[in-house]
Amino acid sequence: MAGPLPKIGRSQLAQIPVPEATSTHKPVPHHVIVEALAETLSFRHIRVVNEEYAVSFDGMKMFGVLDLETQMEGCRFSIGIRNSHDKSLRLGLTAGLRVFVCSNMAFSGEFTPVLAKHTKSFNLIDTLAVGVDRIQRGLRTDATPGGRVAAGANHRRASEADPVRRVY
């Protein structure tokens, strides 16, 4: 049984080989997705302050978490990301104060604005722009009485003890 996947940085994602496209599937390199997401966030004046990634041993699946500058007292918003070259996973983004991304396919946050297949008509920039817009609308930083943070229709108690992010 294999152990946990080693964590890698953004620059190492560029070294992962990408399979050839087919007539129905257009694999997008992991590093291209991460760079496009960071750029889309920067256009909205949202800065990534920490990031970590893990890639399956064959390089076909990528999992990651990006911590954002946007925060409340004791809490920081994060975006979880996953991608695959072998059609096993759709490109996915999940966001919230509590984000969990795991190589066993667990993928959760308080709001999941993007789940997109890599079809021949897939447009990464449009998908990420719409996804980040949904994140901005779905996650509000206004705390309600009792320390709750509005996250779409889903509310969770925000405290410093809550785990913010994990990639396994």
Give me the residue spans of the domains in the chain: 7-167
Output the CA–CA distances (angstroms, integers) from residue 136 to 1, 78, 87, in the order listed: 40, 12, 28
* Nearest-5° Cα angle at 45, 49 to 118: 80
User: pLDDT tier at 146 (50, 70, 90 boundaries)?
Assistant: very low
User: pLDDT tier at 85 (50, 70, 90 boundaries)?
Assistant: very high
Q: Which residues contact 98 (CB under 8 A, 6 or more apart)?
A: 109, 110, 156, 162, 163, 164, 165
| Maximal C-alpha separation, the chain | 53
Q: Taking the model in full, what pTM does it have?
A: 0.78
Average pLDDT over residues 90-108: 83
User: pLDDT tier at 158 (50, 70, 90 boundaries)?
Assistant: very low
- Residue 140: the pLDDT is 61
Q: Are 95 and 77 in contact (CB under 8 A)?
A: yes
pLDDT tens digits, 55-69: 999 999 999 999 998
CA 125/CA 139 separation, integer angstroms: 21
Is pLDDT larger for residue 163 or for residue 119? 119
Least Cα distance to 104 among 148, 167, 42 occurs for 167
